[in-house]
Amino acid sequence: MIGGIFDGRYRIIRLLGQGGMGAVYEAEQLETGEHVALKCIDGGLLLRSSSGVGRFQREAKAMGSIDTDHIVRVLDSGTDPKTQAPYMVMELLEGEDLQQLLDRVGKLEVDAALRITAQVCLGLQKAHEARVVHRDIKPANIFLARRADGEIVVKILDFGIAKIKPEPSQGGPTTGLTRTGSLVGSPLYMSPEQARGLSSIDFHTDLWSLGMVLYRALSAATTLTMVISRARSCTTRRPRVGSQPPI
């Protein structure tokens, strides 16, 4: 695939990352010469899991519906004519995610942590205004993108398990809704109601997760500490928005 032409419009340059869903490549848009990130689903997943394809398509829809500098931009999407697998094209980011930064430095100074959190809040505000609940806010999904002028812009990644709520006037099912009791997300960062698999979660779950991210960034909490914190929060009978997380 490296060096090949994808869908007649993109030249594949190098592999950026790979996971269970598929792979992300750096690619060149042949018409404009722009370098982009091309994410394509594993062709075999089409045969193994229709839900995996639905998740991929939901991610493209969620990200494409939000206009903000603080969520990675989707530039294009389509279907590979050879495999019939969906793909999406995103802006190519330079930098590192927050998890990589924390692995390197341990914890952040208060000012730095708050600056990052404030930019994530701006992205979440736009997502929630578009009735999109991310459901997987964690350090690995918070990217510190470095612009050409050296400025750092924080961008939210990976809307693969996002929940898209319909407008009240429209009714209809919620896109991305999982069965009650199904667990989606990252256990160390998810809210108590999300950990219980409740289907009624809303934007408050993202705020809880962001609070846990801030806790991790400021405290250099170990995995064991985070597990204990999660266990305590999930045994609380009635978590209330605004109450302090157990630390």
Tokens standing for 87?
């793909």
Tokens standing for 239?
């978590």
Q: For residues 200 and 180, is the Cβ–Cβ distance under 8 A?
A: no
What are the backbone dihedrals phi and psi of residue 76, each rounded to the nearest 5 degrees, phi first?
-165, 160
Active-site residues, by number, are 136
Decide if pLDDT at 68 tops 90: yes
Tokens standing for 35?
């370098």
Check the annotation: does 39 bind a ligand.
yes
Q: What are the chain's domains?
A: 5-91 (3.30.200.20), 95-234 (1.10.510.10)
The tens digit of pLDDT for each residue in 4-54 reads 999 999 999 999 988 767 889 999 999 999 999 999 887 665 556 666 677
Q: What is the pLDDT of residue 43?
A: 63
Q: What is the pLDDT of residue 211?
A: 95
Give the C-alpha distances (Å, rounded to integers) separating 115 from 27, 173, 179.
31, 36, 36
Instruction: Identify the burial level of 41 via C-beta atoms within 10 angstroms of its C-beta, where 0-12 means exposed, 13-18 middle and 19 or more buried.
Output: buried
CA nearest to 11, candidates 31, 41, 56: 31
